[in-house]
């Protein structure tokens, strides 16, 4: 009989495990499907794919079929789904080995395929939970792929759907939804319901506000950033390589000589003579640059950059001055680099390596067509690029076999030198021959006059300037102050055929276009025997605190002066009015870089008095706190000594924090007691003492019930005092009798001393 009973129980358990209760909530199913749809669409928006056109309808069909078949075993369908999932996994591994450029999209495709198959088998709540997780992962993948704020509305929609999904899922776990059916049906979205619109809206606002606050305040430690290296799919360029017939730079803004049109040709510009610049492409990218062009650019976005540190996105440099522009004298001396077929990484040859550098990872996405010169921070060491070969010229510029097309993505790892002013001031003037031969050249007909004007400007310094670094700083600042930009750029006259740009800038017009300032500073430094060259590239751009990207436009392109310092490398100086004297450098900590950029964005919308007041507050109290935090972080991360020091400081801070918390709690308790009537004060003190001994009063107990309970756990003398205080408290509280408070306090103090 016993064996039969055990057998029956075993069969019952097996049956109960094999047939789990189905999830009957239609609303939960609809909302979960909404999460999945938003996740799929988010991937499409971020990656610019079209998977939604087939995945969303099939997922909806599958979810509908699952609802009607939720109580059936569906064994044939499960078999087919298992085969489909194996096929999806095989496709995933195939794509994983053939598309090494960006595995995130490969993962997203696999998840979407699995979700479509999984949507045909959603009988239980846990199956819906799998779909919720897949939707969340898809949203996360889309977040890493997205480069615009187009992703933000989808994130908010996902969050708005996720809140009621969590509530319904929790109710389903507790069985509330099944209990509701057996009870009188209440409005699902009533004011008292967890799904009330007002309540969910409040939660949504709180979560979004808290999330944005954490995002802005969270420190960014470069050493702890995930270094992924996105790159576009492979580009096959056929016979396009760096042979002798294809070593030039192609700027799509220039046209071939003899052809009509603007911005659609594939040639180079004339180096001298008047002309009009293209209003879309910056004129300074090419083998030669003509600074006798006139016109203005129409703003458009050209790059989106994700970087561990802001900086000047360097494109190329020029070494030979032509009188009205610049050119690269050794344009065909290229050092070529080829990547292996199994990797996208190029190990770049470099002509010079500074002593003190910091490794910075940057990822660029081309938004509008650019020349075949690859923007990057100074001294690129590794490049992840989709072509089979690239090249680097003797000026440190990267070249691609073809132009940078819209949608191209690549990653650069640069070792950017620190700008240590002390070391740069101490740099010698013993320049190597390879530097002196190319970066001190100046037209002899203007050299004496330019040198004289340069020395006159240096003579105005209140103290003698001896180092090349201080001379470069002083001259750049002097050009900002003494020379001006034209009120109307079109009013600046063209240079005559034999007229020199620097001479006209210094002595005739006393100003010029922004790039004319940099050309003049370069030639002035050369006149003093200081090696300098003209460098062109893009300014940092506008930082978007929500996407973490720098938005770079064509109008951010301009020229600066690079100066060479032995054993330190090339460093840029910006003499253009309205610009910072020194471009952004890695010498500053970027720990709170996002917060700083976010503040700059907010400050642009505030009135000046409010901005100044907040800036003073930030630089005073808050800035000091952040500087202390950064100093501590640097100390703790400086090896084993720093680690042990950090542990000791953390323990000490924890103890002091605990001690401070206890003192604050004690102060609050004393302040609360001081506001009570004397009898209430005494009674609460007694409860506090007993609670510390482990005899807390339950809220449902009356004072007399609590006193009788204490008589069973306390000595007779203590129980008598507890009973007297409790009786006096009852008579005062409910009878209006005035107790002998002084006598009761003496008895209480005597009792407390005896307990200790």
Q: pLDDT tens digits for 329-343?
A: 888 888 888 888 777
Give the confidence band of 263 by pLDDT, cuts at 50, 70, 90.
Answer: very low
Nearest to 169 by CA among 135, 210, 208: 135
Q: Which of 148-162, 242-256, 446-460 has the highest mean pLDDT?
A: 446-460
Q: What is the pLDDT of residues 453-486, one digit of tens each?
A: 999 999 998 888 889 999 999 999 999 999 988 8
730: left (phi over 0), alpha (psi -120 to 50) or beta: alpha
CB atoms near residue 240 (< 10 Å): 15
Cβ–Cβ < 8 Å for 122, 66: yes
Check pLDDT > 90 for residue 688. Answer: no
Cβ–Cβ < 8 Å for 178, 81: no
Check pLDDT > 80 for residue 34. Answer: yes
Q: 661 Cβ partners below 8 Å, 6+ apart?
A: none
Domains of the chain: 10-182+193-218 (no CATH), 423-534+559-587 (3.10.620.30), 676-755 (no CATH)
Cβ–Cβ < 8 Å for 722, 707: yes
Complete DSSP assignment for 566-626: TTTEEEEE--STTS-SS---TTS--TTHHHHHHHHHHHTTS-HHHHHHHHHHIIIIIHHHH
pTM: 0.65
Give the confidence band of 224 by pLDDT, cuts at 50, 70, 90.
Answer: very low
Check pLDDT > 50 for residue 246. Answer: no
Check residues 197 and 460 and name the one with the higher pLDDT. 460
Q: What percent of the chain has pLDDT over 70?
A: 78
Please give the pLDDT value at position 595.
58
Q: What is the pLDDT of residues 63-104, one digit of tens each?
A: 898 888 888 888 888 888 889 888 988 888 877 766 655 677
Cβ–Cβ < 8 Å for 142, 42: yes
Give the confidence band of 271 by pLDDT, cuts at 50, 70, 90.
Answer: low
Backbone torsions φ then ψ of 724, nearest 5 degrees? -65, -45
Rounded Cα–Cα distance for residues 144 and 409 (Å):
14
Rounded Cα–Cα distance for residues 200 and 176 (Å):
19
Q: What percent of the chain has pLDDT over 90?
A: 22
Please give the pLDDT value at position 259.
41
In this structure, of 494-508, 557-571, 607-621, 639-653, the range with the lowest mean pLDDT score is: 607-621
Check pLDDT > 90 for residue 314. Answer: yes
- When pLDDT is averaged across residues 718-731 and rounded to a whole number, the result is 88
In this structure, of 137-146, 218-227, 463-472, 546-555, the range with the lowest mean pLDDT score is: 218-227
Q: Is the dihedral of CA 454, 456, 457, 460 positive or negative?
A: positive
Check residues 637 and 451 and name the one with the higher pLDDT. 451
- When pLDDT is averaged across residues 276-286 and rounded to a whole number, the result is 86
Check pLDDT > 60 for residue 114. Answer: yes
74: left (phi over 0), alpha (psi -120 to 50) or beta: left
Rounded Cα–Cα distance for residues 756 and 748 (Å):
13
Q: What is the pLDDT of residues 556-581, one digit of tens each?
A: 999 999 999 988 889 999 999 989 98
């Amino acid at each position: 009989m016993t064996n039969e009973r055990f057998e029956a129980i075993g069969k019952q358990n097996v049956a109960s495990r094999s047939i789990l209760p189905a999830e009957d909530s239609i609303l939960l199913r609809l909302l979960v499907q909404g999460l999945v749809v938003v996740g799929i669409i988010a991937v499409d928006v971020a990656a610019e794919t079209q998977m939604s056109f087939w995945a969303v309808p099939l997922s909806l069909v599958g979810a509908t079929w699952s609802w009607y078949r939720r109580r059936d075993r569906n064994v044939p369908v499960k078999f087919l789904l298992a085969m489909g999932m194996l096929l999806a996994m095989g496709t995933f591994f195939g794509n994983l080995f053939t598309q090494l450029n960006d595995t995130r999209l490969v993962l997203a495709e696999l998840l979407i395929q699995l979700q479509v198959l999984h949507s045909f088998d959603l009988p239980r709540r846990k199956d819906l939970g799998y779909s919720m997780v897949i939707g969340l992962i898809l949203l996360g993948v889309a977040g890493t792929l997205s480069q615009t704020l187009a992703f933000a509305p989808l994130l908010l929609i996902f969050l708005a759907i996720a809140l009621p999904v969590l509530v319904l899922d929790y109710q389903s776990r507790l069985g509330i939804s099944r209990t509701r059916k057996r009870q009188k049906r209440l409005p699902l979205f009533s004011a008292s319901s967890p799904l009330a619109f007002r309540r969910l809206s409040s939660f949504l606002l709180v979560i979004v506000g808290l999330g944005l606050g954490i995002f802005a305040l969270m420190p960014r430690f470069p050493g702890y950033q995930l270094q992924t290296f996105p790159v576009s799919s492979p580009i096959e360029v056929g016979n396009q390589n760096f042979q002798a017939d294809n070593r030039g730079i192609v700027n799509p803004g220039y046209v071939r000589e003899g052809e009509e049109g603007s911005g659609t040709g594939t040639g180079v510009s004339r180096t001298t003579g008047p002309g009009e610049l293209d209003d879309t492409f910056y004129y300074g990218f090419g083998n030669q640059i003509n600074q006798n062009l006139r016109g203005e650019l129409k703003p458009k976005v050209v790059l989106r950059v994700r970087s561990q540190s802001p900086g000047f996105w360097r494109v190329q440099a020029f070494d030979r001055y032509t009188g009205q522009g610049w050119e690269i004298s050794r344009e065909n001396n290229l050092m070529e680099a080829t990547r292996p077929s199994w990797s996208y990484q190029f190990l770049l040859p470099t002509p010079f390596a500074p002593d003190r550098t910091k490794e910075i990872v940057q990822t660029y996405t081309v938004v509008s067509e650019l020349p075949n010169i690859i923007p990057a921070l100074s001294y690129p060491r590794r490049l992840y690029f989709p072509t089979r070969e690239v090249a680097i010229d003797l000026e440190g510029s990267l070249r691609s076999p073809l132009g940078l097309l819209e949608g191209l993505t690549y990653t650069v790892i640069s070792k950017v030198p620190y700008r240590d002013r002390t070391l740069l001031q101490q740099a010698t003037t013993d320049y190597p021959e390879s530097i002196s031969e190319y970066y001190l050249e100046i037209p002899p007909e203007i050299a004496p006059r330019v040198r004289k004007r340069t020395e006159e400007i240096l003579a105005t310094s209140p103290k003698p300037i001896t180092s090349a670094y201080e001379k470069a700083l002083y001259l750049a600042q002097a050009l900002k102050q003494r020379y001006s930009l034209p009120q109307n750029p079109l009013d600046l006259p063209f240079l005559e055929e034999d007229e020199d740009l620097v001479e006209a800038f210094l002595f005739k017009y006393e100003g010029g276009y922004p790039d004319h300032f940099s050309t003049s500073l370069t030639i002035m430094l050369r006149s003093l025997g200081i090696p300098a060259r003209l460098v062109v590239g893009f300014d940092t751009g506008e930082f978007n605190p929500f996407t973490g990207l720098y938005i770079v436009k064509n109008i951010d392109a301009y020229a600066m002066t690079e100066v060479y310092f032995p054993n330190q490398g090339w460093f840029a100086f910006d003499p253009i009015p309205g610009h910072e004297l020194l471009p952004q450098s890695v010498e500053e900590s970027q720990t709170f870089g996002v917060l700083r950029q976010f503040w700059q964005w907010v400050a642009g919308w505030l009135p000046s008095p409010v901005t100044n007041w907040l800036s003073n507050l930030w630089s005073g109290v808050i800035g000091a706190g952040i500087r202390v935090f950064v100093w501590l972080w640097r100390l703790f991360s400086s090896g084993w000594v720093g680690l042990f020091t950090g542990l000791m400081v953390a323990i000490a801070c924890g103890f002091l924090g605990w001690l401070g918390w206890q003192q604050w709690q004690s102060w609050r308790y004393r302040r609360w007691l001081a506001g009570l009537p004397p009898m209430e004060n005494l009674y609460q003190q007694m409860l506090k003492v007993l609670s510390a001994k482990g005899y807390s009063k339950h809220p449902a107990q009356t004072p007399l019930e609590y006193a009788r309970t204490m008589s069973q756990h306390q000595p007779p003398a203590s129980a008598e005092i507890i009973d007297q205080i409790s009786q006096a408290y009852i008579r005062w509280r409910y009878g209006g009798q005035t107790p002998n408070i002084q006598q009761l306090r003496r008895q209480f103090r005597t009792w407390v001393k005896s307990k200790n």
